[in-house]
Amino acid sequence: MTPIPSDDGLHPNITDINYHADLESLSSTGAKSLLDCPAKFDYGRRNPSKPKQEYDFGHVTHKLVLGEGADIVIVPFEEWRTNEAKAMRDQAYAEHKIPIKPSQYAIAQQMAAAVLEHPLAAKLLQAPGYSELSGYWHDPLTGVRCRYRPDRLAELPGRIVCVDYKSTKDANPVQFAKASIDYGYIQSDPWYRAGLEANGITDDPAFIFIAQEKTAPYLVSVLQHDPDDVQRGRELNRAAIDLYAHCRDTNHWPGYGDGLHTMRMPGWHAPQHESRMEAITRMSEIATAA
């Protein structure tokens, strides 16, 4: 295993385990979690969760599509019910490998083939470049060390493209835009750009998603954020780095506070409430007219 490097820049051969175990730098995922609740962020990084089976399929598709990642173990069972199946699964986890059922592996293989049938996705994935490098830089305003791990850096003529491959339920651009908000992809984009710029790789990186559905026919869409949304993500990242610096320097990672909170419903609630009251009024009129 390659240890976490002390010098900034892009580095190969750092395992997922080592990368995510680093307590001395802030990742894009950590920045999102920190903005939700510093206490939960700090607890989570010091008490990493056990491997989650719901992530295994995504890890396998990443391995097959990008060619990098943990080794895959095809467990010859379609259910985890038997002791033998559980033992093989747990042994794979203990060895930092990815256990997967044969039918799920077959689907992942079909996805890996299907993504290359999309001309733009194939161009990005097959261009010269590097997969799963780990990058580090120091924020010049706070001194916070930040890290990032691009799925793929594609070297296209005149442009370095950071490619983020996502297996997803729905690759429709409208639905994936919603996922970008829900899962914080809107922050990943400017975070990775900032890392590439700080490391001197390029002063004008592109960031592109390849989204692929996990059900046949395994449709693919290639997407990028609107520049205004990139700026919104950049503002969130700035807030996260500043908050991290404060919490680190004070060793105080707050939760939700000790006082009384007044809840304010989301903007969509008021018109929904009005529509519901209109329906109730109509029903009351029907009932009283009977």
CB 137, CB 129: distance < 8 Å: no
Mean pLDDT along residues 226-248: 98
Question: What per-residue confidence (pLDDT) applies to 77?
Answer: 86
Mean pLDDT along residues 36-42: 97
Mean pLDDT along residues 84-108: 91
Question: What per-residue confidence (pLDDT) applies to 53?
Answer: 79
**276 Cβ neighbours under 8 A, 6+ residues apart:** none
Confidence of residue 135 (pLDDT cuts 50, 70, 90): very high
pTM strictly above 0.75: yes
Mean pLDDT along residues 221-245: 98
Report whether pLDDT(105) > 90.
yes
The amino acid that residue 94 corresponds to is: A
Say which range, 44-53, 200-209, 266-275, has the weakest mean pLDDT. 44-53
Q: Residue 221: which of 147, 166, 150, 155 has the closest Cα?
A: 166
Confidence of residue 54 (pLDDT cuts 50, 70, 90): confident
Q: pLDDT for 187-232, tens place per residue?
A: 999 999 999 999 999 999 999 999 999 999 999 999 999 999 999 9
DSSP 126-193: HSSEEES-EEEEE-TTT--EEEE--SEEEEETTEEEEEEEEEES---HHHHHHHHHHTTHHHHHHHHH
Enter the tokens of residue 179.
Answer: 């996922």
Pick from 59-68, 76-85, 108-117 the range whose average pLDDT is largest. Answer: 108-117
Place of tokens 């009977």: 290
Q: What are phi and psi of 116, to 5 degrees?
A: -80, -10
Mean pLDDT along residues 83-87: 89
Between 217 and 16, the more confident residue is: 217
- Mean pLDDT, the chain, as a whole number? 94
Mean pLDDT along residues 74-102: 90
Report whether pLDDT(170) > 90.
yes
Query: Cα angle vertex 148, ends 143, 154, to 5°?
Result: 130
Question: What per-residue confidence (pLDDT) applies to 19?
Answer: 93
d(CA 200, CA 191): 14
Percent of the chain with pLDDT over 70: 99
Report whether pLDDT(1) > 70.
no
CB 104, CB 63: distance < 8 Å: no
Confidence of residue 17 (pLDDT cuts 50, 70, 90): confident
Strand bridging mode 9-11 / 134-138:
antiparallel
Report whether pLDDT(146) > 70.
yes
Domains delineated in the chain: 9-49+116-250 (3.90.320.10)
